[in-house]
Amino acid sequence: MTGVILIGPPGAGKGTQATVISENFNIPHISTGEIFRRNVADGTDLGQEAQKYMSSGDYVPDAVTNAMVGNRLAEPDTAAGYLLDGYPRTLDQVSELDSILAGLDKTLDAVVEITANTDEVVARLLQRAKEQGRADDTEDVIRRRMQVYAEQTEPLVAVYRDRGLLVQVDGMGTIDEVSARVIAALSDAVS
């Protein structure tokens, strides 16, 4: 069982590194942001609810998000492990995840934090907005997302550090450089 959480500010390259981790450790990549975006694109009830918050850079309410993650982690492809990308993001979600994992008899083995410089990540996100046109990538929304991250998600780092699960990786540099650091650090942590 290799249970991993990937955490880091918007624009730190989480999505890219998540793919690398998922392939290297052979565990499914579970991105709550991706699941929400897919539901928005498909026009589901969940998507319509999530869209109200995503379009302004705020978090979708915990009740909606927790239920979605609980269902996803109960699927059979998570038997050997999972990689959570973008969840948990609040202290309440940390407690909820603890109960979900206990209920499913799964472990959490490492929390990888990708660190990044704020100016650099804002520049990266504006570039991505140009290339991919994500609706939540306008400058105001990006700044709001950074603020929400600092207020609501950064405190999680201390919680997981206290539990001895935190693995910090410098997210600055090329994708390959960061991937090499992530794989090395995570291999040490879960071996």
> Known catalytic residues?
14, 89, 128, 134, 145
Residues between 43 and 72 with contacts to ligand AMP, criterion CB under 6 A? 53-54, 57, 59-60, 65
Among 3, 8, 27, 36, binds ligand AMP (CB under 6 A): 36
The alpha carbons of the chain give a radius of gyration, in whole angstroms, of 16
Residues between 131 and 190 with contacts to ligand AMP, criterion CB under 6 A? 136, 145
Choice between 2 and 32, CB closer to ligand AMP: 32
Choice between 98 and 188, CB closer to ligand AMP: 98
Separation CA 31–CA 174 (nearest Å): 22
**Residue 44: Cβ within 10 Å count:** 12
Residue nearest to ligand AMP (CB): 33
Residues between 72 and 111 with contacts to ligand AMP, criterion CB under 6 A? 86-87, 89, 93
Separation CA 169–CA 94 (nearest Å): 21
Query: Is-contact 146 122, C-beta < 8 A?
Result: yes
Choice between 106 and 145, CB closer to ligand AMP: 145
As measured in angstroms, the least distance from the Cβ of 127 to ligand AMP is 15
Identify the residue whose tokens are 């991505």: 128
Among 94, 38, 34, smallest CA distance to 66 is for 94
In the chain, helix, strand, coil percent, each to 5?
60, 15, 25
Q: Which residues bind ligand AMP (CB under 6 A)?
A: 10, 32-33, 36, 53-54, 57, 59-60, 65, 86-87, 89, 93, 136, 145
